[in-house]
Amino acid sequence: MRALITGANGQLGRALADVLARAHAQVDTADLPDLDISSMASVEAWLAGHEPYDVVYNCAAFTNVDGCEQDFAAAFAANALGPMNLSIACAKIGATLVHVSTDYVFPGTEPGARTEDDVAAPISAYGRSKLAGEGLALANNPRTHVVRTAWLYGDGRNFVRTMLSLADRFDQITVVDDQLGNPTYAVDLAGELVRIAATKDYGVWHCTNEGTCSWADLAQETFALAGRQTQVVRCTSAEWKQAHPESADRPAFSSLENHRLAKTIGNGMRPWKEALAAYLEAEGLREGVA
């Protein structure tokens, strides 16, 4: 199998490259400035210079949720036009596209985990750009998997790392407690993306680690596993917005259910607390683990 990973310098891209390398796949990795997926000319030039791919994994995205509010044109270019360009190009060479999307396509106004059949209605510029990317990818290549995930962390900048960095400087940290979702370890997601890519059951998938928590819960569990005594001060989204008026609105309840995985190839995603412990151990950050 020949594969291309776009956005390869991100935490998911790096995890996916490792998984595919262990599977002895032939893998090319690409990121800015060598490949700009928002430019069809750049996509075509890249593909013209390489042997045809069997599968393209799109991990490239503009993921700064607040930044998307300030520059929707840039968000739309990366998150909507980019997947469209890759989808069109994949259709021409007969390749499968695996496009990674987000829980933020849902408004988060209803309790309960969202399935793939629930209606998306994003409340942020980021969510709107990602939902547009889903539709454009699916419309331009029948061999497309759209995989929604959530609250990703891995080898790179992420919420867990930020919390530990703040804990080095502060005795207490204020964290939002009324936004609920699924923390997801990039390594676990990468393994499932490879399994999904091998199927011909194209369409939309949800793929997160199992279980739902708040950002404050995630911070608390991180500190407990890392042996930190830092206190988590829980606040509401309204209180955070008042202190940070420039911040984008986030879904209150964006938990995803891996419904399609469970009904087809099997849900291989472990509980979020187990995945977090594995991540901290792998990074040498877990208390009592060398």
Known catalytic residues? 126
Look at the block and give the residue holding tokens 């995803």: 256
> For strand 152-153 and strand 213-214, is the pairing parallel, antiparallel, or unpaired?
unpaired
DSSP conformational letter for 103: G
- What's the Cα-to-Cα distance from 60 to each of 65, 154, 184, 272, rounded to whole Å? 14, 15, 17, 24
Collect all residues with Cβ–Cβ distance below 8 Å to 115 and sequence separation of at least 6: 206, 256, 257, 259, 260
Torsion angle of alpha carbons 276, 281, 286, 290, nearest 10°? 180
Q: Are 140 and 129 in contact (CB under 8 A)?
A: no
